[in-house]
Amino acid sequence: MADNDFSNTAFHQYLAEYKLMGAHCEACDTLYLPPRPMCPKCFGDDMNWVELPERGELIAFTTIHIAPTAMIEAGYGRDNPYISGVVRLENGLSISAQILGLDANKPEEIMIGTPVKAEYVERGEDEAKKTFLAFRAE
């Protein structure tokens, strides 16, 4: 169960429960993903957690061949590229995530607007195990 602090730690605790959660400003009725402890629109801090829709569409993407250390450790790299992208959820909020279910070796065939659904990916062993947000093409 996540602490009610709207932090990145709490966001990841929800991901570990396979829940995509954002923050809702009770004062001005605005939703936020990533969650945050203060509303940038009305400067209020009466926030609540809300579960977000898991479906959306791909609005930007790339296939990454030169990977950062963390993704190399997850088995990716020059010979095994992966896709990162920005997904716009059904309610209009957007988030960065790894994109699954499409061929990273055929980027010309990947379409902006592809429908996707949230998927929860576990990386790391034992203590270092962490759940990451990804989206899979439908």
Residues 80-119 that bind other proteins (CB under 8 A): 81-82, 84-86, 94-98, 107, 110, 112
Q: How many residues bind other proteins (CB under 8 A)?
A: 33
End-to-end CA gap in the chain: 29
Give the chain's count of helices (H) and strands (E).
2, 8
Closer to Zn ion by Cβ: residue 24 or 61: 24
Residue pair 58/85 in contact (Cβ under 8 Å)? The answer is yes
Residue 65 interacts with other proteins (CB under 8 A)? yes
**Prior bond to 34 cis, omega within 30?**
yes
From 10, 15, 20, 25, residue interacting with Zn ion (rule: CB under 5 A): 25
Closer to Zn ion by Cβ: residue 28 or 111: 28
Residue 28 interacts with Zn ion (CB under 5 A)? yes
- Report the 10 Å Cβ neighbour count for 137: 16
DSSP string, 14-48: HHHTT--EEEEETTTTEEESS--SS-TTT----EE
Q: Which residues bind Zn ion (CB under 5 A)?
A: 25, 27-28, 39, 41-42, 44
Q: Which residues bind other proteins (CB under 8 A)?
A: 8, 34, 59-72, 76, 78, 81-82, 84-86, 94-98, 107, 110, 112, 132-133
